[in-house]
A and B are shown apart, each in its own frame.
Chain A
């Protein structure tokens, strides 16, 4: 098995078929990369949205505790 082209330029040119071959491979690699990235990014987004929600819930709980404490202090 040996490299079929004399140099890198002829590898790119592929005797005139270069544009067809490289365009095909380029588009294929791009859409296949998208197939991997879309679910990965979606999961990351969900994780961030969930953390935001969690922080909001905690902040609400903390302010409720603080209000309850100040109310009991006022009652005394």
Chain B
């Protein structure tokens, strides 16, 4: 008996985590700190990368685009993991909040993929002499953009919300095949895009004077992603729970007429 009680207790956090109301109330306090930290890191990283990091010996100043290109691409990929994992959790444990986070992650991921592609194209012009080339890395990133757009379209294509949740979660899961292809594309097909300069397992092939502003920007992008993902999730929660008592109380709170 006692064992059962313990198990019940340990699962409580999991169920609470799945409650949109709990999430909304909990994250209210985090948002300002998260936003301030993200903006501070991004401001420091931008100033550092644009004005204080040294020029690249080969590429000159055009390389300064790296400080947004690489973090945006990082988060475009990490965001896909988050979206697909949330879809899987929603399918397996039927957790409502998980689907909401998945839906929130799709447009953010699409924007970051777009930023990575656009900055890459603009960087390509002075460096490679062309905006676009059907290189393996670039093509697989374009597929990533279409996967994000597909999840967005599919999640909104059903009149029943749950059908949209399940269908888009499936698409997100199937699309994960693309992620290792993106990572490995620069090694498998050595075409135009340069191989990674940041490596987890060995020393990076980038000078510390360029590495520190880059890592600052990556950290800033991660915090920014968390901030924006929470913001979007909260918006979707309010939309979904529009008719529930707690949302009505929350929205009516600051209404002066509510007291009458």
Contact = CB atoms under 8 A, between A and B. Distances in A.
B215 interface: no
Contacts of B248: 50
Nearest to A5: B51
B252 A51 contact: yes
Contact of B108 (A3, A16, A35, A40): A35
B90 to A, nearest CB: 20
A42 B115 contact: no
Nearest to B213: A1
- Interface residues of B toward A: which range? 35 or more
B210 to A, nearest CB: 12
Interface string B28-71: 00000001000000000010001111110000111011001100
A21 B112 CA distance: 17
B62 A17 contact: yes
A21 B61 contact: yes
Contacts of A43: 234-235, 238
A9 interface: no
B7 interface: no
Given A3-B52, A24-B118, A46-B251, A40 B60 contact: no
Chain A interface extent, by class: 35 or more
A11 B257 contact: no
A31 interface: yes
A52 B122 CA distance: 47
A42 B235 contact: yes
Contact of B257 (A15, A36, A47, A58): A58
Interface in B215-260: 224, 227-228, 231-232, 234-235, 238-239, 242, 248, 251-252, 254-255, 257-258, 260
A24 B119 contact: yes
Interface string A19-48: 011011101100110111011101100110
A2 B48 CA distance: 10
A36 to B, nearest CB: 6
Contacts of A25: 46, 50, 65, 68
Given A3-B51, A17-B126, A46-B251, A54 B258 contact: yes
Contacts of B235: 39, 42-43
Interface of A: 1-5, 11, 14-18, 20-21, 23-25, 27-28, 31-32, 34-36, 38-40, 42-43, 46-47, 50-51, 54-55, 58
Top 7 closest pairs, chain A to chain B, by CB: A14-B61, A39-B235, A50-B251, A17-B62, A17-B61, A39-B231, A24-B119
